[in-house]
Amino acid sequence: MTPSTERWLDPLVAAIDAAPEPVDLFFRDDDAGWEDDRLFVLLDLFGQLELPLDVAVIPQALERDVARKLLRRVEAAPELVGVHQHGFAHTNHEREGRKQEFGPARGRDEQRADIAAGRERLGELLDGVVEPVFTPPWNRCTADTAACLTELGFEVLSREARAEPFGTPGLRELPVAVDWFAKRGGERLTLVQLGELAAERVRAGGPVGVMFHHAIMDPGELRAAAGLLALLATHPQVRRRRLLALARAQD
């Protein structure tokens, strides 16, 4: 057992200790291209703990100087840092209901064009290290999106655990289960509630994905997250994996 010095993490420690086999875990950070100074602070924290982080990059938002810095991080430690596509411009196209960039308001051809354009831009800026993984903004998309992804050679779709899998042949799905900024009834979860949620996800079995949004993580958020990350970096019953490798291992 790995003890926790932060009581809100106790339910998670107990769930991991009680798991019948090691817990597979991955970390995803969304919205690279926005507030990128904070992105590199988060990457520094993960690097210090030797934890892997998969960065979801908004193609239209990524600037060349940020791309160069991010590329150096990937090349220096590919086992710890990966990059993949996060939509195209992170723009909402729905006139009503929940926000979506790749939602029902857009036809298949429109979606395919944006996905392809985003892939081309990231390929240019990140020099071939972009992995065949797609995370839709707001974790929402349609079956048409999934079909376009397979046509364009993507292997993995990563949304969130409450989304019903599409079952698209040739497309693996690996969702995130714990959102650091999760809400319930419109109110953000407390740390105690977040610890309970993480414990529930561990008890449910299967890989557990933890999602961050660096753009809204101030120093206080980082300090709180560091407690969770330190636990997961050191617990002997946790297998810390990169998203693509973990998805491929599910076959």
* Residue 217 CA to its chain's centroid (Å): 15
| Rounded-to-integer distance, Cα 92 and Cα 104, Å | 11
4-21 pLDDT per residue, tens: 558 999 999 999 999 999
Average pLDDT over residues 113-123: 98
Specify the range with the lowest mean pLDDT, choosing from 3-17, 35-49, 198-212: 3-17
Residue 251 binned pLDDT confidence (cut-offs 50, 70, 90)? confident
pLDDT > 50? residue 194? yes
**Considering only CA atoms, which of 72, 103, 71 is closest in space to residue 88?**
103
Specify which residues 23 forms β-bridges with: 238
All domains of the chain in start order, with CATH: 7-249 (3.20.20.370)
Instruction: Report the interhelical angle of 143-151 vs 108-125 (nearest 10°).
Output: 50
| Rounded-to-integer distance, Cα 54 and Cα 135, Å | 11
- Give the angle 47-88-41 at the CA atoms, nearest 5°: 20
